[in-house]
Amino acid sequence: MKAFITHKGIAAPLPLDNIDTDVIIPMGPLMMTPRGELGKKAFMPLRYREDGSEAPEFVLNQAPYQRASILVAGRNFGCGSSREGAVHALEGFGIRIVIAPSFGDIFFGNCIKNGVLPVILEDAAHDSALQAAGITRGEAFFKVSLPDQIVTLPDGTCLPFDFDPGHKVRLLEGMDEIALTEQYRQDVLDYQEKDRRDRPWIWAIEHMA
Amino acid sequence: MSPATLFDKLWDRHLVTTNDEGLDLIHIDRSLLTDLSGTIGLEEMEQDDSAVACPGLHAAMPDHVIPTGSEDTPQQAKLRARFVVNLDRLSKQTGIRHFARGSGRQGIVHVVGLEQGFTLPGTTLVCGDSHTSTHGAVGALAWGIGSTEVKHVLATQTLWMKRPKRARVWLDGTLQRGVFSKDLILWLIGRLGADYGREHAVEFTGPVIEALSVEARASVCNLGVEMGARFALIAPDDTTFRYLAGRTYAPEPALWEAALEDWRRLKTDPGAQFDKEIYLDASEVTPQITWGISPEQVTNLGGAVPLSGADDGALDYMGLAPGQSLEGLPVDYVFIGSCANSRIEDLRLVADIVRGKRVAERVTAWVVPGSEAVKRAAEDEGLAKIFLAAGFQWREPGCSMCNAVNGDLVAPGKRAVSTSNRNFVGRQGPNARTHLASPATAAACALAGEIRLSQE
């Protein structure tokens, strides 16, 4: 996983609520496309017409937002299916940061696992980010610092955001989580040994077909 | 000890350790592996030559990709050759139990987990599928995860988690006759919004919940995630214990009493604190149907699209106008199935409504049982014959038209009434128009050929 520290880039406004992971990447294309090519299929239902041509009204088809690396989205972004391919499709398009008033919980977790930064900005802060993304038409960069937890708009406005310290460390260090958990192996074995005594019915299925 | 919520009791019992940054390492008692995220997780384990930590705590079965009766297209056959075949092969290779088609136990993971007694009160259960919240119906702490987390569970039998906040939805009153748990949860999503439960574990409680069967509770918890709740929870009670007794993986008689004693403590203590709480009278709930592209875009059956404030994109996609009444809209497909509503009680209800009647000419109507066990029971009870005589297709168990990656889909631009849980753009096929409803409403619409209130 890539480590995340700071990032500068074009921000695209996508002010729709409840953009679900089926819209970010429909399941059919997800299953038939290698991970490296998923970017082409990101937002397929919004981005392409039925005949496969680009829908000109969709923001990520418009210059300069085709080069956006930041998305300013609406409420409950990434709700729905747990498919991690939704994050892979965003990454494939070049999105490193999504700014929204709220996210689907599973999608949020999948972002952390893949080095994409989900930033929660509410109310006025979200409005100004959305406006800035629209007004500047991408000609000026947004800057996002995870260590400082600040989004800086092109006009210099600083928008601080909250971020869970545990998730922050994971993103900053881009660590291999399984290797990390191996360091707690003895704690897990101790837990299991005690639980086998306390709740034998949990473990009774282990040798059942 | 200070009073604790059901959620806190479940979380604390599974806490292995907490790291310096405040993330909790949670032990996972059960995991379900589908032919999608399960296959991907097992494939990655094979590539890395990693060992599965506790193979006996998992159950694998094909549901998402496996066909339910449609002829395989070449593309479909290719998908099946990878996802279904690899799940079988890798489960055998790693010693994970696998319920193949024809085993008598195959089906949708969220139907099978409960009916086999694999899900138990007080367990932590995960699956690479958002509707894992379903298993909260028996007092399990159950949640959907991504495929990186699936692999982490396979390798370590744990997950790093941030402790969620706690919410309680208290439902007072009694459901009216002809109103079902599916109507109840759609009504709640409409009132509270598709993100009410975000960052929370939501406990559903109160007299309305207590009066529901385990299968009806499963529909509530299933759509819990559609109101944003990654974790949906219902405290186990005598209804739960009666449901579980004698099921394949439920505690054997020698352990039953000890388990029961433990399970009876799994409830929120009086005075326990929630981060947010809402109290509603569910007596006013009427049959519900969605009109838009999010489950929160829902109205009373017989109701209409909002006159103003409705999302234009949703109206355009659904082919509807502001203020338009839903009643009488022609219906092309009726799908009775999915992890929301494909259990035996759902099928009995549908059979009662369609017995001796005929599906309207214009409607393609399917019943897809949730599992081989449900299918067998429905055939033994004579329900399958009723469906077939009424003009429904009676198919093999699987996710089918709910996720539309198995050859089963709604044709572009066509309107479907579906007992599934998602009306998202393209969910049931490119440009398919989905209206979510209860099995009773779906059955009535199949007979009428249009959106109509159940006669029942």
CA distance A154 to chain B (A): 30
Q: Which of A79, A175, A183, A187 to mutate to test the interface with B (most CBs of B within 10 A)?
A: A79
Nearest to B405 among A27, A50, A204 (CB): A27
DSSP-assigned states of every residue in A143-195: EEETTTTEEE-TTS-EEE----HHHHHHHHHT--HHHHHHTTHHHHHHHHHHH
Measured CA to CA, the distance from residue A55 to residue A44 in angstroms comes to: 10
User: How many residues can be counted in chain B?
Assistant: 456
Which of A31, A45, A205 minimises the CB distance to B425?
A45
Q: What is the mean pLDDT of chain B?
A: 96
Residues of B in contact with A184 (CB under 8 A): 16-17, 25, 158
Size of interface A-B (CB pairs under 8 A): 174
Which residues of A are less than 8 Å from B83 in CB distance? 31
The shortest CB-CB distance from A22 to any of B148, B255, B427 is to B427
Contacts of A188 in chain B (CB under 8 A): 16, 25, 27, 156-158
Cα(B314)–Cα(B403) distance, integer angstroms: 19
What ipTM describes this predicted complex?
A: 0.95
Across the interface, whether the CB atoms of B122 and A81 are under 8 A apart is answered no
Range A6-175 classified under CATH 3.40.50.2000: no
In whole angstroms, what is the distance from residue B129 CA to residue B109 CA?
9
Give tens-digit pLDDT for B26-79.
999 999 999 999 999 999 999 999 999 999 999 999 999 999 997 788 888 999
Minimal Cα distance from B253: which residue of A?
A201
Residue B400 Cα to chain centre, angstroms: 13
CB atoms < 10 A from the CB of B91, how many?
Answer: 24
Whether B216 shows a pLDDT value over 70: the answer reads yes
Please state the rounded mean pLDDT for residues B330-339. 98
Strands in B433-436's sheet, in edge-to-edge order, are B393-394, B364-367, B333-336, B415-418, B433-436
Give Cα B242 distance to the centre of its chain: 21
Collect all residues of chain A within an 8 Å Cβ-Cβ radius of residue B97: 208-209
Contact B16 A26 (CB under 8 A): no
Closest chain B C-alpha to A156 CA, distance in angstroms:
31
pLDDT at B453 over 80: no
Chain B residues touching A168 at Cβ < 8 A: 21
Chain A residue with CA closest to B116: the answer is A205
Q: Which chain B residues touch A205 with a CB distance below 8 Å? A: 56-57, 118, 249
Q: In chain B, which residues have their Cβ closer than 8 Å to the Cβ of A28?
A: 404-405
Cα separation, B85 vs B66, in Å, equals: 10
Alpha carbon distance A195, A197 (integer Å): 5
Which of B122, B230, B249 has the CB atom closest to A106's CB atom?
A: B230
- Domains of chain B by residue range: 6-163+238-263, 165-232+267-284, 288-448
pLDDT band for B359, please (50, 70, 90 cuts): very high
pLDDT band at B342 (very low <50, low <70, confident <90, very high): very high
Average pLDDT over residues B320-346: 97
Question: Which structure tokens are listed for B158?
Answer: 């744990």
Give the span between the Cα atoms of B95 and B99, in whole angstroms: 13
Q: B164: which chain A residues are within 8 Å (Cβ-Cβ)?
A: 105
Equal CATH topology for B6-163+238-263 and B288-448: yes
CB A126 within 8 Å of CB A100: yes
Half-sphere exposure of B192 (CA within 13 A, CB side): 27
> Taking the mean position of all CA atoms in its chain, how far away is CA A3?
14
The beta-carbon neighbor of B405 closest among A31, A169, A191 is A31
Mark yes or no for CB contact B262/A199 under 8 Å. yes
Q: Mark yes or no for CB contact A199/B122 under 8 Å.
A: yes
**Is there a contact between A181 and B25 if contact means CB atoms under 8 Å apart?**
yes
| CB nearest to A202's CB, from B123, B146, B403 | B123
DSSP track, A19-63? -BHHHHS-HHHHHHS-GGGGGGGTTHHHHB-TTS-B-TTSGGGST
Instruction: Please list every residue in chain A whose beta carbon sits closer than 8 Å to the beta carbon of residue B56.
Output: 205-208
Give the closest residue to B307 by CA, choosing from B329, B325, B285.
B325
Residue B384 Rama label (left phi>0; alpha psi -120 to 50; beta): alpha
Distance between CA atoms of residues A22 and B68, nearest Å: 22
Burial of B163 (0-12, 13-18, 19+ CB in 10 A): middle
Cα pseudo-dihedral B298, B299, B302, B305, rounded to 10: -80
- Whole-angstrom CA distances from A76 to A16, B118, B229 are 9, 32, 12
- Given this model, what pLDDT does residue A200 score? 98
User: What pLDDT shows up at residue A138?
Assistant: 67
Instruction: Give the pLDDT confidence score for residue B415 in this predicted structure.
Output: 98
| CATH 3.40.1060.10 is the classification of domain B165-232+267-284 | yes
Distance from CA of A155 to the nearest CA of B (A): 32
Residue B454 pLDDT more than 70? Answer: no
pLDDT digits (tens, 9 = 90+) for B233-247: 999 999 999 999 999
| pLDDT at residue A5 in the model | 85
Q: In this complex, do A181 and B294 lie within 8 Å of one another by their Cβ atoms?
A: no
Pairing state between β A11-14 and A70-73: parallel
Verify whether the Cβ–Cβ distance A84 to B22 is below 8 Å.
Answer: no
Distance from CA of B349 to the nearest CA of A (A): 28
- Give B307's pLDDT tier (boundaries 50, 70, 90): confident
Assess contact for B443 and B337: CB atoms under 8 A: no
Angstrom distance (rounded) from CA A78 to CA A16: 11
Taking contacts as CB-CB distances below 8 angstroms, the residues of chain B near A41 are: none
Closest Cα to residue A140, out of A129, A150, A127? A129
Chain B CA closest to residue A199: B259
Chain A residue numbers with beta carbons less than 8 Å from the beta carbon of B403 are 27
Q: Which two tokens stand for residue B98?
A: 């696998």
> Do A80 and B424 lie within an 8 Å CB cutoff?
yes
Percent of chain B with pLDDT over 90: 94
* Chain A residues closer than 8 Å to B425 by CB: 20, 22-23, 45
β-pairing verdict for A117-120 and A97-100: parallel
d(CA B184, CA B211): 13
Q: Determine whether the interchain pair A109/B146 forms a contact, defined as Cβ–Cβ distance below 8 Å.
A: yes
**C-alpha distances out from residue B206 to B25, B183, B240, B281, Å:** 32, 17, 15, 10
Segments in chain A below pLDDT 50: none
**Mutate which: A76, A169, A201, vs B, most B CBs within 10 A:** A201
Indicate the pairing of strand B24-27 with strand B158-161.
Answer: antiparallel
User: Which fold, B288-448?
Assistant: Aconitase; domain 3 (3.30.499)
Name the strands in the sheet holding B200-205, side by side, starting at the edge strand that comes first in the sequence: B231-233, B200-205, B165-172, B276-281
Q: Where are the domains of chain A?
A: 6-175, 176-209
How does residue B266 score in pLDDT terms, banded at 50, 70 and 90? Answer: very high
DSSP B247: -
Q: How do A150-152 and A142-145 pair as beta strands?
A: antiparallel
Candidates A79, A166, A206; nearest CB to B195: A79
Specify the pLDDT at position A172: 92
pLDDT in tens, B112-152: 999 999 999 999 999 999 999 999 999 999 999 999 999 99
Domain B6-163+238-263: assigned CATH number: 3.30.499.10
Comparing CA positions, the residue from B447, B440, B455, B454 lying closest to residue B216 is B440
Residue B332's pLDDT is 98
For residue A192, the one-letter residue type is: Q
